[in-house]
Amino acid sequence: MRKAAFFFLGILIVLYCLFPFLWTVITAIKPPEEVFSLPIRYLPKRLSVENFVEVFYKRPFSRYVINSLVVATGGTILTLALASLVAFKLRYMPVQRALMLQRWLLVGAIVPPTLLVIPVFVAIKALGLINNPLGLILSYCFLNLPFGIWMLYAAFSRIPKELDEAAMIDGLWWGGILLRVILPLARAALAVSAALIFIFCWNEFLIALTLMPDQLRYTVPVGISMLSGASIYEIPWGQINAAVTITTVPVILIVALLQRWIVEGLTAGAVKG
């Protein structure tokens, strides 16, 4: 009895969580004329890819996807590179001090991007990097660095120090130790951090909106939000839903593949703070 109730509640939760996404997909695969048909059809009469084709043909959507890929990949690589350097340094610090530093990093990570957008804009403008992917990459690195350091420090501190010493005796310099010993051993944590930071960058809206005013530089979220009201007659909801589908499916795949580790990583960070 109790099991059945739990099962039922579970189904409710799944529906609640997945419904917006499912409805988006259903709208996207409807033929365009059916999107605006009343009464609403819950299952499309026929499957259609027209909405998808239109998003790519009529609008520079592929451009947005490339932009997003560039900044998200760049942001992830740069963040992880710097984070692994810092985490490696923290490893040699007394634990008390390292934890103190991390607590301050937590404060940095908690500040919402809304409060950072103006200072970041001023800084990036001073660097002359407006409309330049590098400007966005640097900002994303700045935003995600605390999180990256956290994740990597947690992973690094599980590796016994004796390994470093052994490598040192073998004549490796510290960079070599990091690259050849520590990073390979922490590759699981590295992969999860990479996935999460990639998702954060891929999803980011406000800073991308502000730092890339040129339409050809829009990232996917900015591009989609600008699709609204682009035509006289009506908002192209079929195309918008197709675009949303294309944007969200990769995120869902990443999450599904790395589910267990993501939860572990997230909570390891949050709970330590």
Partner 1 sequence: MRKVLVNVSLALLLLSITSSILLSPSPIKAEVLRMIGPEDVGGAWAEVIKRFHERHPDIQVKYISGPWSTDERQNMYIRSFLSGDPIELVYMDVTWTAKFADAGWLLPLDRWFTPEMQEEFLPGAVEAGRYKGHIYRVPVRGDVGMLYYRKDLVPSPPRTWREFEEICERSSHPPDLYCIVFQGMQYEGLVCDFLEYLWGAGGEVIDTEGKVVLDSPQGLEALKFMRKLIERGWAPKAVLSFQEQHSLSAFSQGKAIFMRNWPYAWTILNREDSPLRGKVGIVPFIHKEGYESVGTLGGWGLGIARGVKDPEKAWRFIEFATSVEAQKILHFRRGAVPSRKALFLDPEILEVSPHYKDLYDIVMRARARPPHPDYPRISDTLQKHVSAVLAGVESPQQALKVMARSIEGTLKGKKKNYLKRLSLDYDLKRTLKNTLVFTSISVPLEFLLGLLIALLLNAQFRGRWFVRLSVLIPWALPTAVMAMSWQWMFNNPFGVINDLLLRIGLLERPLDWLSSPSGAMFAAVFADLWKTTPFVVIILLAGLQTIPQELKESISIDGAGPLRRFFHLTFPLLLPFVRVALIFRVIHAAGIFDLIWVLTKGGPADSTRTLCIYIYEVAFRYDELGYAIFLTVLFLFALIGVSFLIMRLTTLGYERAR
Q: How far is the CB of 105 from partner 1 (least distance, A)?
A: 14
Closer residue to partner 1 (CB): 126 or 169? 126
Output 64 or 153, the one with its CB closest to partner 1: 64
Residue with tokens 């984070």: 83
Backbone angles phi, psi at 93, to 5 degrees: -90, 160
Per-residue buried b or exposed e for 62-75, using 16+ beta carbons within 10 Å of the residue's own CB: ebbbebbbbbbebb
- Residue ranges in 127-219 assigned as alpha helix (H): 133-156, 161-169, 174-176, 183-185, 187-203, 206-211
Shortest distance, position 267 Cβ to partner 1, whole Å: 3
We find the least distance from the C-beta atom of residue 48 to partner 1, in angstroms, to be 17
Is 62 or 259 the residue whose CB approaches partner 1 more closely? 259
Closer to partner 1 by CB, 115 or 169: give it: 115
Residue with Cβ nearer partner 1 (110 or 169)? 110
Task: Quote the radius of gyration of the chain (alpha carbons, Å).
Answer: 23
Contact 119, 185 (CB under 8 A): no
By C-beta, is 71 or 186 nearer to partner 1? 71
Q: Minimum distance between the CB of residue 47 and partner 1, rounded to whole angstroms?
A: 19
- Residue found by looking up tokens 């572990």 in the block: 264
Spatial separation of the C-alpha atoms in residues 77 and 89, rounded to whole Å: 19
Task: Provide, rounded to whole angstroms, the least separation between the CB of residue 89 and partner 1.
Answer: 8
Closest to 178 (Cα-Cα) out of 159, 202, 205 = 159
Tokens of 171: 């004549």
Could you tell me the smallest distance in angstroms from the CB atom of residue 214 to partner 1?
A: 7
